[in-house]
Structure 1
Amino acid sequence: MRCLFAALFFSALLSGCASPPADPSGTWINQAAIDAAVEGGNLREALLAYGPNLEWQIDSQRQQANFSNGFEHDEGTFARSADGHLRVNFYAESQESLSLSNNQLVQAQSATWPEQRFVRAAATPGPLAPPGSSFEQALYSAYLGGTWVIEEGVGEGGLVLFQADGSLQGLPGADRYALCLAGDCAAMSGEFDSLWLQLADQGQSWIFEREGKQLRIFEALNRAQIDEMPEYYKGELRWLLKRR
């Protein structure tokens, strides 16, 4: 009987000392896609290779999990399975499995997506920031951060700063910018990377090429008919920027 009591005691003790499952709450971003874009230069290729999902936001208290792919945003609820994985259910009757591994959030391969890995965002935008903002700001900072000099084009010799929040300083005719990540803008630019440049409430699409410390911005010419979705191709070089 003493042996039985001792076994039960140590079993309860070990159970009480077991570590609770790690809390995945917070914002997770697709750092691999950012790193690939910075190293290779071509943004669309990096997003296609390591995406398509770019950011997850998880709230364990409410059992909610949301993701953004740069164009769509979907909200789901989850339950934790016996193996510790999060089974996320969406309204479209799709399901995804998330787990923690070596400080990464792993989205398991499914019929919809390949396996993808995410890291905790270094900084989280405010509560009113749109979904995907953490990834976007991390990308903007890594991909276009720093000081650029206008080597060719209007404003030659001037300094240009692309801020992580999408504000732009020093490029004539623009005070905001946005990189095309997915959706209609990607369909319209096809094989090319594109960005949106805006001044006040007026803006337009441009084609760009980033190679090492050089950034070329071209006019986006449209070969589609007036009643068709725009189909952009590379036009005249408008600016050549070089990172200091």
Structure 2
Amino acid sequence: MKKSKRAEVNFLPDHPEGQTDESLENERVAIAEETRKKRIDATLIPRKMEASFSLRRKEVVEVEPLVEEIRERWSALFYEEEICREFFRITNINLLSTFIGSLDKYTAPLLKLYRRCREAFGQEVKILLENLDEQETDAEDHYTKDVQIGILSVMKDNVAAATSLPKVTNIAIILKEAVVLRDIVDLPTAFAYLFGLLYAINMEYPQELKYTFEAIQKIFRDLGGSCSARVQSLKIKLC
């Protein structure tokens, strides 16, 4: 039996009484058929996604399909509303409100910490602090290549003045070199959806960003028990 690694309350639930893989597969098929319609029933998909939750988790956790396979079978899972609902089913925590609330609480202490230690963080963070919104523009496919997990900000070209901030025209989430969600309202919301998707499809944190995601999980979302020494140190500094 695979066990929860990130404080998931409903990591691998049993099927509801009287339901089987076959009966819940019928629910999945109904969802797939509905998503292909021009006018989607706004109440049917949430209801059937709730009913088929145990089958979906069984597939995601035990079979470990590729992201593209999950998108093929459970396309509704990549709707913004369903990312939020799935995260709540798994953790019993609201995806957006808890993250935005934590951003409000920790942004100022984080910036103070970075500015105080900017020399230790190196040139990359110094540039980031000089202009937090500065990003380059380029073709979307250029940035999705070899990207396993990421957030893509598409900027408007030909900014009038050199001192002007670039205008964001699109924000998207990349998983396994594919854009799985686009037209997101802002970067904090995009990161919240990305975090929710990692839970929804049971995807591991990228090794090079494991402390970043551990901090988001255990400080910003209060999910899980003890922290690593590095994350615990940051938590103390933010208090």
Q: TM range, normalised to the smaller chain?
A: under 0.3
**Higher share in strand:** 1
Larger RCO (CA under 8 A, 6+ residues apart): 2
Normalized against structure 2, the TM-score is what? 0.23
Structure whose CA Rg is larger = 1
